[in-house]
Amino acid sequence: MKPLTFTYSVDPMPFKKPLRIAGHIFEGIPAVRLQLTDGVAVGRGEASGVYYTGDTVENICAQLEQARPLLSDGIDRASLRAHLPAGGARNALDAALWDIEAATSGITAWRRAGLRDIQSLLTTFTLSADDPAHMLEQLDSYADARAIKLKLDGNLQADSERIRLVHNRRPDAWFMVDANQGYSVDRLSDLAPVLHEAKVKLVEQPVPRGKEAGLEFIRLGIPLAADESLLDIQEVDQLVGRFQVANIKLDKCGGLTEALELRERARVLGLRTMVGNMAGSSLAAAPAYILGQYCDFVDLDGPSFIRSDLTPSVRYRDGRIELPLSLWGSAS
């Protein structure tokens, strides 16, 4: 393996509009953008970390600095997993290694991931847990969306009104909600009537991480997806009986390499899978897009939230996301 060096920068990644979820309002989510080289070829990666685990951009940068000696001796993706914990730093480096492998081998990242080609993907578009006027404005801006994800804030009355509003405005759209840990197991049943009334198809992370006990006894009639309750491959087995869908994010599990294994393990366990993102530019969405080719649900609208994306960028058309082949992981 050739010695590798890298440089990186932090982009504050401000949003076009604030995003409100249970317990948080985000004006943006900063990202670390990394460039890796072996002296000839270049690979790129991007990561934002996960706010609820304390994996900030400062933490990512610190871990990257600690990893410099490893890369100076040369490293591959398997060795990287053995030396760095799951999280943003490993995700950025893993993505850059996929990218540089494609450039040096002539084999695209998607072919190396077992795909013959890549297809555009139907993706959800996210609505903030906002007041009705702002929600309607945002909904109208999603005229092409065919799948909607509504953020909830844990207030049963307000959330019920939000759910009805979305359903009444867009009864044609596939519809899911994301509670971001805003409910308890006991209170989840109180939300059930309006969820069924609005034909909600999926409920993401209804309860706090660590307080999932009791979900195995809930008969909601709507699949539950684990997000905060699933960080990496070590945690997927514990979802069985409590969740029906595993939401895989590269910033949580530490990159596409582990994400593909996690998805396969989830499938063996009888779980469906979803790919999500922690906002980010099109560069962050690119490796997740490859994972999305294997997933049942796709939530990759992150680049549409930021004020300024990279060029070339992913394209959103007719409710789908499409990755330009030249963006990342190409063989040229």
Q: Are 262 and 253 in contact (CB under 8 A)?
A: yes
CA distance 210 to 129: 24
Which residues face 213 on adjacent strands? none
Residue 239: per-residue pLDDT: 98
Q: Determine contact, residues 330/108, Cβ cutoff 8 Å.
A: yes
Q: What per-residue string of b and e applies to 273-282 under the rule 16 or more CB within 10 Å gives b?
A: bbbbbbbbbb
Q: What is the pTM of this model?
A: 0.96
pLDDT of residue 237: 98
* pLDDT digits 0-9 by tens, 23-62: 889 999 999 999 999 999 999 999 999 999 999 999 999 9
- Using the 8-state DSSP alphabet, how is residue 242 labeled? T
The CA distance from 62 to 50, in Å, is 15
| pLDDT tens per residue across span 183-219 | 999 999 999 999 999 999 999 999 999 999 999 999 8
Question: For position 332, what pLDDT does the model report?
Answer: 73
pLDDT < 50 stretches in the chain = none
Ramachandran class of 186: left when φ > 0, alpha when ψ lies in -120 to 50, beta otherwise? alpha
Letter string b/e over residues 71-94, b meaning 16 or more CB atoms within 10 A of that residue's CB: beeebebeebbeebebbbbbbbbb
- Tokens encoding 209: 């991480």
- What are 108's strand-pairing partners? none
Predicted confidence at residue 22, as pLDDT, reads: 82
CA distance 74 to 40: 14
What is d(CA 268, CA 293) in angstroms, rounded to the nearest whole number? Answer: 17
**Residue-wise pLDDT tens digits, 85-96:** 999 999 999 999
